[in-house]
Chains A and B, each alone.
Chain A
Amino acid sequence: MLSMLKNHTGKITRKEIWGDDYFLLSLEAPDISRESQPGQFVMVRTSTDPYPLLRRPFSIHGRNGSHIDIFFQKTGIGTSLLSQKQKGDPLEILGPLGNGFLLEDGTESKKVSLIGGGRGIAPLYFLAQELNKNQSKVRIFYGGRSSKDIPLLSKFKKENIETLCSTEDGSTGFQGLVTELFEQEMNSEPPSLICACGPDGMLKKVSQISEKNHIPAELSLESIMGCGFGACWGCVKKIKKENIKQWQKICEEGPVFWAHEIVWDE
């Protein structure tokens, strides 16, 4: 049996609070850690009671030996309960699930730009770590509404990951959207690959930039998910492959898709 559909019980071994409502939990999950790729996710039960009913999807934020990290924003009942968990508490986890960013071919020694919007930054830290291992030149573009929405900036700086940031209110870094910052900066050092995660509006703009400048882009989509492993058909996006457009499951076929495959306006 593959471990991805087996329920793992992982103890919280570290909890970090970032700003007002962002949290990092480190979970002991050796099987998941061993198999996980950047861009993959786990489904976490935030309560063993029937409310909230469903597990919540979280991308894998980092990997450290037998541990995986998740990084999330407190936005609703599920993430609120999760934010109250403490070191030592057990969590039920399924994973790793889905298809992550393609690292195998062509990323070695390349210039890769990572674009993260808000909580969409979560999987890009794990991706940056893995890209650094294969000698790629990584630049992170990190945007949010205001400085409190880009809490990981100090973490990236501390680890010497080149990070450019933007806020819509101008409280930190470039004033405007992260995609505007990227367009302004990309010509100084054109990347050969873009990897992005964030809200749909941001990803749609990244798709347009990717097409206009002929730079391939891998986009990680976010969605409400029922199960996370392809059984409920709840998390679909219109995807075009070989000129056939169809609803595909984000959890199973994605969550990472090539930008040119995603049909935005339908």
Chain B
Amino acid sequence: MIDVSVDLGFLKLHNPVIAASGTFGYGLEFSQALDLNRLGGFVVKGLYFSPRQGNPPPRLAETSCGLINSIGLPGIGVKQFSHEILPKLTGLQTAVIINICGENREEYASVADYLDKHEEISAYELNISCPNVKKGGICPAQNPEDTYETVKLVKNSCSTPVITKLSPNVTDISEIALSAQEGGSDALSLVNTFLAMDIDAVTRKPKLGNIMGGLSGPAIKPIALRMVYQAVRAVKIPVIGMGGIQTGRDAVEYLIAGARAVQVGTANFISPDATLQIIDEINAFCEDNHIKKVEDLIRTLDIDS
């Protein structure tokens, strides 16, 4: 029997696989496809304080081994969420992580404050890295000071552990990772999507209604993996890695790079039970390679020999 549990310090997961925000609804939608309790955890769709409509279509463009989206964080708002959804997430034997969003720092803090002290919430994921809500794909995670101030204000507004989700659209990921740590973040998750676009050569129109969007899927995996490797070396807090994970072996690569857990996003669209397949594949990998504990894989990249 392989021990697949991982410890983030503030949170123990019974396996390292977490379903990523924006690809897993509010969790309940997937309860038809899989037993949510088998997951290490899941992150619900981003929540602003008020309900939001999202961006005009087309919202999706498929590219080579990737998907560009400009969804724009539509959602029900924090009040409806806490009345209608949160009660249904109680009693789950898995980590329930709430992805919180804001037009400004104060909105992030008010969402964090509103949902604070709910036992069923394991952690917040602070979404300061969505490329689809401000003009030009700008987000707080592109600026060290903005990152620091946002994390600090949210930390002062709640007692729930905070995971800060970083953007890959930066020159130096280590600098931003350090800013989030200095602001008091309990962990980091990275990366969010890469700012991208696609054009129809015949009509000369952008393929997305919002012109630019965020690229995800296997196309981004090598770059995301590199950024996770860099972030792990910059900070002391745990890092959750994501970007293009489709298989157990992909997940293991992130663990070796130093991630203590992983998130699976786009793969959920292709197979609703992709997360479970990945957990099974991690188990099989450990068995084949005589690894007794998944934690023994973490940060074991061999660069000396």
- Cβ contact of A4, chosen from B32, B61, B66, B246, cutoff 8 A: B32
B71 to chain A: which residues have CB within 8 Å? 232-234
State whether A236 and B57 are in contact (beta carbons under 8 Å apart), knowing that A1-B32, A51-B65, A53-B65 are contacts in the complex.
Answer: yes
- Asked if residues A231 and B23 are in contact (CB atoms below 8 Å), the reply is yes
A230 to chain B: which residues have CB within 8 Å? 25, 29
State whether A236 and B54 are in contact (beta carbons under 8 Å apart), knowing that A5-B272, A50-B65, A224-B62 are contacts in the complex.
Answer: yes
State whether A224 and B58 are in contact (beta carbons under 8 Å apart), knowing that A53-B217, A232-B69 are contacts in the complex.
Answer: yes
A232 to chain B: which residues have CB within 8 Å? 22-23, 60, 69, 71, 269
- Cβ contact of A51, chosen from B58, B64, B74, B268, cutoff 8 A: B64
A55 at the interface (CB under 8 A from B): yes
B300 at the interface (CB under 8 A from A): no
Number of interface residues of B (CB under 8 A): 34
A235 at the interface (CB under 8 A from B): yes
A94 at the interface (CB under 8 A from B): yes
Flag A32-73 by CB within 8 Å of B: 1 or 0 each: 000000000000010000111111000000000000000000
CA distance A121 to B67 in the complex (A): 28
A156 at the interface (CB under 8 A from B): no
Closest to B25 in A: A231
- Asked if residues A7 and B271 are in contact (CB atoms below 8 Å), the reply is yes
A229 to chain B: which residues have CB within 8 Å? 29, 272
State whether A226 and B271 are in contact (beta carbons under 8 Å apart), knowing that A231-B25, A236-B54 are contacts in the complex.
Answer: no
- Asked if residues A53 and B218 are in contact (CB atoms below 8 Å), the reply is yes
- Cβ contact of B270, chosen from A55, A223, A246, cutoff 8 A: A55
Query: Which B residues are closer than 8 A to A by beta carbons?
Result: 22-25, 29-30, 32-33, 53-54, 56-62, 64-67, 69, 71, 74, 217-218, 246, 266, 268-273
Given A50-B218, A231-B268, 17 more pairs with CB closer than 8 A: A7-B271, A7-B272, A50-B65, A54-B67, A55-B269, A55-B270, A224-B58, A224-B61, A225-B60, A226-B67, A232-B23, A232-B60, A233-B59, A234-B69, A236-B54, A236-B57, A247-B56
- Asked if residues B53 and A246 are in contact (CB atoms below 8 Å), the reply is yes
Number of interface residues of A (CB under 8 A): 30
Closest to A5 in B: B33
For chains A and B in complex, what number of residue pairs have CB atoms within 8 angstroms?
Answer: 89
CA distance A77 to B279 in the complex (A): 31
CA distance A45 to B32 in the complex (A): 20
Instruction: Please name the 6 residue pairs, one residue from A and one from B, whose CB atoms are nearest each other, closest first.
Output: A227-B269, A5-B33, A234-B60, A50-B218, A5-B32, A50-B65
- Cβ contact of A6, chosen from B25, B33, B58, cutoff 8 A: B33
- Asked if residues A234 and B59 are in contact (CB atoms below 8 Å), the reply is yes
B266 to chain A: which residues have CB within 8 Å? 53
Q: Can you pick out 6 interface pairs between chain A and chain B where the beta carbons lie within 8 Å of each other? A: A54-B62, A226-B67, A231-B268, A232-B71, A235-B59, A235-B60
A234 to chain B: which residues have CB within 8 Å? 57, 59-60, 69, 71
Determine how close the nearest CB of chain A comes to the CB of B38; give it in whole angstroms: 13
B269 to chain A: which residues have CB within 8 Å? 54-55, 226-227, 231-232
Determine how close the nearest CB of chain B comes to the CB of A189; give it in whole angstroms: 37
B53 to chain A: which residues have CB within 8 Å? 246-247
- Asked if residues B246 and A50 are in contact (CB atoms below 8 Å), the reply is yes
Residue among A55, A223, A229, A246 facing the most chain B CB atoms (10 A cut-off) = A229
A226 to chain B: which residues have CB within 8 Å? 60, 67, 69, 269
State whether A237 and B64 are in contact (beta carbons under 8 Å apart), knowing that A1-B32, A53-B217, A231-B25 are contacts in the complex.
Answer: no
A50 to chain B: which residues have CB within 8 Å? 65, 217-218, 246
